[in-house]
Structure 1
């Protein structure tokens, strides 16, 4: 990964500054500590992808097909999306050009794979078969990668570094949660038996089934890295003078500025894959914020007040803090410039909101009232957005995109935990009864309560999006 950082720095600084600055590169070729520091800082940037150079996003990482042909089990994963890789910790990075060898290690926590599956065979002693949606949540994985590298002559006549081949080891160090829908065509007793076995014996199951998936992930990341290396001469990768940490951080700042200012190649409006990848990169910026453009940071997100005026229940949430939107990703984005409409399918692995509340009325079937502190934390949420868009002229005289309005659909796909302090003015019996009902019927309660709260979140995101769109002409985003 540090090679990616080096490339971006050299390219950007070389294009923007004078010759003395061009000679500055992140690390001495024998400084492994610097290489590791560089890799740690670069991974979140690299993970967003750089389409101008043919480098796709690594988080979310999209894998069209994974084939598992094991001794007693065959499976196929399709339309797989992997999230969480940008949060991996890179360590022990070593590059030895004399021996043509690259070594690095990764510790990855809370990596999630989800998509569609077909499976058939035996999972150890248990028969298993099915077809449907799947999700695998890996709490902690360790990877050790060793690669052979070589020098190749590029189109520019200079030498470039390339990864020839690699080997790896992977080790699941903490629990893995397997969730496969529609096993045995929906036969609940058979499916639960297999899933219980898999989740209780997660280590053994991982060792048995993991290799095809891990191979696919590392192969994709290596392909992206090699695309970078085709562009930058190897002579520009290293400095003969060891640089200080302060100089490294300064150069990293230059790199970030340059990357965000590179003009991206627009997507054809009919290229749904390109549109979705581009939208994910834009979404990351919309959530992270761009202060110079008035784009606020939205994780954490703040609400002074959210009001819910439902049929039988009224509530106010004040001074609320929301976290989790930085980890959301767009599964699918469709644009129709004839109808001036955009359809967005979005997944948030978790969302948490806390603050103060006032509530009064009926929660489906129970009376409820109170005021105090509250928190709500959800697992996976699915968000569908149907947006009307229009073209507007900005100060640069060019057309820019603007979202006029949107319709939304929200589905809590995993448990939501409700915690409201001081219900019924501290009456524990009544308060515990309502909370037990809410947490025991989280899906129904979420459907009842969610619209005012989720709409408030999405409105802030849409406001940020429109400010972001003012910075990017439509012609730089799409062709149609």
Structure 2
């Protein structure tokens, strides 16, 4: 753990000695955002020790939301590779961050089982959304690896969703189930939030794996 002055001094000294790159001014959100975008394609594809983030796969999930209990499995999210980092902000004084990603189109496919007052059935859902803006914020911590290089880890995350475009949810019967279509629409609405939360946790876990593998100096530098 480093105090803010020590962290800044250590990063500047290390970068100046080891490379010709000039570290971003951490008050310069454009430089931080550009650095994140340079790394984004590699991050999404995955590197050794960091799993791919397209597709994201989660499950099984279980939950209850009156009038039903549900299970979600084989859930996958496709489309992150077409997203772009829109804004990155790092506050060295408060150890807060903001990280915003814009996605032109995302698709979630999943299988689900439901029972309760709503009825019983097995089905599949396809959820699509256009122009989705993911706005993450929270606390981060500063760490140092065995080689003395500095890293960041996202300690917490809150997600503000901003679906600017059309959100479409299509759920229906599978395996001979006969739950009415209006019931399946209600199922889709109920499982949407917990499914997105699960994808968010997986995505941030991958982000942290990447931040552990790649030091600050290799991302946030001026070109």
**Normalising by the residue count of structure 2, what TM-score does the alignment of the two structures yield?**
0.77
Report the count of equivalent residues.
203
What's the counterpart of residue 167 of structure 1? none
- Flag the 1:478–1:348 CA change in 2: closer, same or farther, 3 A: closer
User: d(CA) in 2 for partners of 1:450 and 1:421?
Assistant: 15
**C-alpha deviation, 1:390, in angstroms:** 0.1
1:325 and 1:348 in contact (8 A); partners too: yes
Pairing of 1:109-120 with structure 2 (within 5 A)? none
Q: After superposition, where does 1:289-304 map in structure 2 within 5 Å?
A: 289-290=46-47, 292=48, 294-304=49-59
Deviations 1:209-239 (A, max 9, x none): xxxxxxxxxxxxxxxxxxxxxxxxxxxxxxx
- Partner of 2:5 in structure 1? none
Counterpart in the other structure of 2:134: 383
Paired position in structure 1 for 2:15 = none
Which portions of structure 1, spanning 4 or more consecutive aligned residues, are displaced by more than 6 angstroms?
A: none
**Which structure carries more relative contact order (alpha carbon 8 Å, separation 6+)?**
2
Report the Cα offset of residue 370 of structure 1: 1.9
State whether residues 307 and 452 of structure 1, in contact with CA within 8 Å, keep that contact through their aligned partners in structure 2. no
**Counterpart check, 1:463 vs 2:214:** no
Match of 1:351 among 97, 106, 111: 106
TM-score, length-normalised on structure 1?
Answer: 0.38
1:335 equivalent to 2:90? Answer yes
CA deviation after TM superposition for structure 1 residue 313, in Å: 4.3
Unaligned 5+ segments in structure 2 are 1-18
How well do the aligned residues superpose, as a CA RMSD in angstroms?
2.9
- Equivalent in the alignment of 2:32: 275
Rg (Cα) greater in structure: 1
Q: 1: distance between equivalents of 2:89 and 2:211? A: 17
Question: Shift of residue 309 of structure 1?
Answer: 3.8
Q: Which of these residues, 197, 215, 218, is aligned with residue 473 of structure 1?
A: 215
Displacement of 1:368 after TM fit?
5.4
Q: Distance in 1 between matches of 2:175 and 2:43?
A: 40
Instruction: Tell whether the 8 Å contact from 2:102 to 2:134 is kept in structure 1 after alignment.
Output: yes
For residue 332 of structure 1, give the secondary structure of its aligned residue in structure 2. strand
Q: Using the alignment, how far apart are the partners of 1:277 and 1:311 within structure 2?
A: 45
Answering whether residue 171 of structure 2 is matched by residue 408 of structure 1, we say: no
Q: Shift of the alpha carbon at 1:311?
A: 5.6
Q: Give per-residue Cα distances to partners, 1:445-480, cap 9 Å, x unaligned.
A: 4xx54331122222222222222112332344458x
Aligned-partner SS, 1:298: coil
CA distance 1:266–1:476, change in 2 (3 Å): farther
Distance of aligned partners of 1:281 and 1:459 in 2 relative to their CA distance in 1, 3 Å threshold: farther
More helix by share: 1
What do residues 127-155 of structure 1 show as CA deviations (whole Å, max 9, x unaligned)? xxxxxxxxxxxxxxxxxxxxxxxxxxxxx
Which blocks of at least 5 consecutive residues in structure 1 are unaligned? 1-261
Conservation of the 8 A alpha-carbon contact between 2:134 and 2:160: yes
Deviation at 1:265, TM superposition (A): 4.1
Distance 1:267 1:347, change over 3 A: same
Aligned twin of 1:170? none
